[in-house]
Amino acid sequence: MLDLSRLNPEQLAAVKHTEGALLVLAGAGSGKTGVITYRIAHLILDKKVPPDQVLAVTFTNKAAKEMKERVEHLVGRKQSKGIVLSTFHSLGVRVLKRDIERLGYKKNFSIYSTADQVGLVRQIVREVNTDSKKYDAESIIWRISGAKNKLIPPGRFTPNPTDDIDMMAGLVYPRYQSALKAFNAIDFDDIIMLTAELLEHHPLVLKHWQERFRYIMVDEYQDTNSSQYLLVNLLAAGCGNLCVVGDDDQSIYGWRGADVGNILDFEKDFKGCRTIKLEQNYRSTGNILEAANSVIGNNKVRKAKRLWTASGEGPLIDLCIVQDDEEEATSVVERIQLERYKKDAPYSQFAILYRTNAQSRPFEEQLRFEDIPYVLVGGTQFFERKEVKDSLSYLKVIANPLDEVALLRIVNFPKRGIGDSTVIRINQWSLEKEIPLFEAFSRVEEIEGISDIIKDKVRAFHHTLLDAAEAFRAEGGLAEKGKALFEKLKIEEEIFRTIDDAKAARRKVENVEQIINSMAAYEERVPEATLGGFIEKVSLMDEDRFSGKDKKEHGKDAVTLMSLHSSKGLEFPFVFLVGMEDEILPHKRAIYEDDSIDEERRLCYVGITRARQQLVMTRTLFRKKYGKLEERVPSRFLEEIPGGVLNVQQSGVVKEVTPEEAEKSAEDFFAKMKAMMG
């Protein structure tokens, strides 16, 4: 018999309910993985279900591996043999390998990688449009992927006539799908779509898998899309023994096709199903949970539940109000140092969470300045991002015209019609004449084999750099000059011109904006600030990555920096939730464009519930935009947190206060906030 004594009453009920449909609403930190693994073990050890009749599906290989290890620990490796614990895609491949021939493919099909997809789409775009450079292959693939996730085949795909990329996707999609089939290949979205098609239109195939899997469990059900939803429903229609585990309050992937309606409507889809709520939290303190419950309770369309803990209230949540984003970074890093000293805690217990990756820049700089190891999860370090390196290369050439690596990077950024063949000719000529490449650009009229039109473009580029260098020698601040240069170069327009995904383009523009903010911060720190000094600072940050000094950042003892989306499923003793301002969290797009405040609130809830012992929130009174301070409005989510759990601090200074003082401070703060918001 399996020992179930470690389970609480709700967990035990979920484990023992094995027949029929079951919806387990598992709040953050409520032990959902344990429920799934104990349920599998109970089926095998106590109910004597053959292991090969059990299917558990999740979203990542890491989660599937963890489940497998836990099940093996409970039932033994021999007893667990035959259980299918897999991702959706692994399950799809298993089904397709057996019967894909019924769909007109051969059994030895290939699965195209992203690079394979991009190459094929580019080829098709060139065939259907002479101006192929106008269309970004990855944007087209994204539109096709969205259609496949909604089970829309090429024949039923209706593009938006006002959207050029959508219209091109409409032309590419049928040709792309035909080409894949001709090459006996599928892509990752096909794995689920074709599996669903195979089961839906071939009853014998469906019957085989329904008889094979008598007990089905799905983890993170709130993250399923339309194709995954259909796949699960088809398989479960035979036995009816479907258990889905998830939390609608943690549905934060709507932008990539997840449909929170799948979990909200489960009880309608499976009449008579049992619903069990896991509300006891084993991760966070009472005050953290009170804040999380209060925030998420403002979403109108959700399954009612309230997290609680037996571990006590814990410390108040610190809300630090600082002047600007640079002071925000300084105060967070100082607090990390203080808590590390007081609690003798390793750096790995600290996490800084933010809404957008562009927010990482001041924290990266401050951590490096203090020589604190950190690891950036789910993103590229700020100064390694392409748009940042492209823009910085202008500043590098202005500071040092002999920096030929930077010069070659910006010759045709933004696009100015100077092609690779021209650059090669100029470079060869500079080598022959033994002169710097920058000087060779100024003497382009002496170089043979380049047309007069192209020579004019080269001269214009050279004059742009000379004018910029003169501007930087004049009086005025570095950030102001940098902003003027980027505006003259029309870098923002170039990003939006070359990247058709508006959301991705906005993120890149925000990163370029952060370069100016970094220059402004450098000026504030260094009285005699120079462009050369700023470039030297940036270069030394790069040097750390190659000198070996940076290796500890990727070890275990490092502060974690990550976006809120990347943080889901993780937990840390100390969490800093930064940028608690409207237009950041919630994001301005959710406020003004797509009305997705509910998902932003869920994102805030996810951030709050990552914290185990201490949660610190920060907001700024002002935030730099292209080096200039702009007044900020507090996040509307702050007003949804009870004042009694907040310890409001000015400029990040830690001050112990009573709950009564904290509540009064919070009330004053929110009164000011309401006045600011009108």
Asked about 619 being catalytic, the answer comes back as: no
Q: What is the dihedral of CA 210, 211, 214, 218, to 10 degrees?
A: -30
Asked about 610 being catalytic, the answer comes back as: yes
Cα–Cα distance measured from residue 96 to residue 148, given in angstroms and rounded to the nearest whole number? 16
Asked about 33 being catalytic, the answer comes back as: yes
Q: Is there a binding annotation on residue 30?
A: yes
- The verdict on whether omega for the bond into residue 527 sits within 30 degrees of 0, i.e. cis, is no
Tell me which residue of 217, 280, 246, 276 sits closest to 8, measured CA to CA.
280
Residue entry with tokens 């991702």: 87
Q: Is there a binding annotation on residue 674?
A: no
Q: Is there a binding annotation on residue 26?
A: yes
Asked about 250 being catalytic, the answer comes back as: yes
DSSP state of 549: G
Tell me which residue of 593, 582, 578, 579 sits closest to 636, measured CA to CA.
582
Judge whether 616 and 575 are in contact, CB under 8 Å: yes
Neighbours of 569 (CB within 10 A): 15
Asked about 219 being catalytic, the answer comes back as: yes
From the list 10, 11, 32, 166, the catalytic residue is 32
Q: How far is CA 9 from the centre of its chain?
A: 36
Nearest 5 degrees, angle CA 340-CA 379-CA 615? 35
Q: Is there a binding annotation on residue 37?
A: no
Neighbours of 655 (CB within 10 A): 11
Asked about 32 being catalytic, the answer comes back as: yes
Q: Is there a binding annotation on residue 158?
A: no
Q: Is there a binding annotation on residue 33?
A: yes
- Residue 172, classed as helix, strand or coil, is helix
Backbone dihedral angles phi then psi of residue 381, each to the nearest 5 degrees? -55, 145
Neighbours of 370 (CB within 10 A): 12
* Burial class of residue 254 in the structure, from the number of CB atoms within 10 Å of its CB (0-12 exposed, 13-18 middle, 19+ buried): middle
From the list 10, 220, 364, 390, the catalytic residue is 220
Q: What is the 3-state secondary structure (H, E, C) of 325-343?
A: HHHHHHHHHHHHHHHHHHH
Give the DSSP letter string of 560-610: EEEEHHHHTT--EEEEEE---BTBTTTBHHHHHTS--HHHHHHHHHHHHTT
From the list 58, 87, 224, 250, the catalytic residue is 250
Tell me which residue of 207, 257, 210, 248 sits closest to 229, measured CA to CA.
257
Q: Is there a binding annotation on residue 464?
A: no
From the list 16, 18, 33, 134, the catalytic residue is 33
> Does the CA dihedral 54-55-61-66 come out positive or negative?
negative
From the list 148, 610, 612, 623, the catalytic residue is 610
Q: Is there a binding annotation on residue 238?
A: no
From the list 136, 166, 189, 219, the catalytic residue is 219
Cα–Cα distance measured from residue 414 to residue 608, given in angstroms and rounded to the nearest whole number? 41
Q: List, as residue ranges, the binding site.
A: 26-33
Active site residues: 32-33, 219-220, 250, 610
Q: List, as residue ranges, the binding site for ATP.
A: 26-33
